[in-house]
């Protein structure tokens, strides 16, 4: 299969030296890409800025902003059989980024933020019947309820859910997979490469 994987954070420019981002390291997405290559799939990895070396054998597409990632996903999604969207894409970006470094001024600074494109929802809306779409949900509370809601709203086939404290920045994780029928498949804490292996095993066995 051709598997499209997104990984890592995005950076949303404030000025040439400042940006808005998040704590995603890309480790889970890169582990999934390694496992997909090991299984013999044709892998396109679209990655935000991370301190990781791209796995051997992938078609690597580096991006920075949410807009960059959206453009790359829309370019490569039509040829994909499976899309695994593990990137932590910014929901908001500065509405008016500037081209020169902002100087410190007295008093408070207020940034106006605007919504970025919801890439996962867009892909879910436009996916073909023969495409398999896997999303991720990192939550701080009510994990199962939020994950199942996201699964339904964004027309996903599967969602991988975990608490933020379990996965972000760590080499291990514990997740729960849900499919569109509401079936639940917990994966206990282990290394992210083993998590990736189990994700493929479950999806392959059940889909």
The residues carrying an active-site annotation are 22
* Helix 66-76 with 119-126: angle, nearest 10 deg: 20
Q: Are 176 and 147 in contact (CB under 8 A)?
A: yes
CA atoms within 13 A on the CB side of 199: 32
Q: Phi, psi (5° rounding) for residue 42?
A: -85, 115
Q: Report which secondary-structure segment, H or E, holds 205.
A: helix 192-206
Task: Tokens 């959206």: give the residue.
Answer: 70
């Amino acid at each position: 299969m051709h598997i499209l994987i997104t990984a890592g954070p995005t950076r949303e420019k404030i000025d040439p030296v400042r940006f808005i981002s998040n704590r995603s390291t890309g480790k889970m997405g890169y582990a999934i890409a390694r496992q997909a290559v090991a299984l013999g799939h044709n892998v396109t990895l679209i990655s935000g800025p991370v301190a990781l070396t791209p796995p051997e054998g992938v078609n690597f597409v580096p991006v920075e902003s949410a807009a960059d990632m959206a453009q790359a996903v829309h370019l490569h999604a039509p040829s994909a059989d499976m899309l695994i969207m593990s990137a932590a894409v910014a929901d908001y970006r500065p509405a008016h980024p500037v081209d020169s470094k902002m100087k410190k001024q007295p008093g408070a600074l207020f940034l106006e933020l605007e919504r970025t494109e919801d890439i996962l929802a867009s892909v879910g809306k436009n996916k073909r019947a023969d495409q398999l779409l896997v999303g991720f949900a990192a939550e701080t509370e009510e994990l199962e309820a939020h994950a199942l809601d996201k699964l339904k709203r964004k027309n996903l086939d599967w969602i991988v859910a975990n608490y933020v404290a379990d996965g972000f920045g760590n080499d291990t994780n514990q997740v729960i997979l849900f499919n569109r029928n509401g079936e639940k498949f917990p994966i206990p804490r282990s290394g992210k490469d083993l998590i990736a292996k189990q994700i493929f095993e479950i999806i392959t066995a059940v889909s």
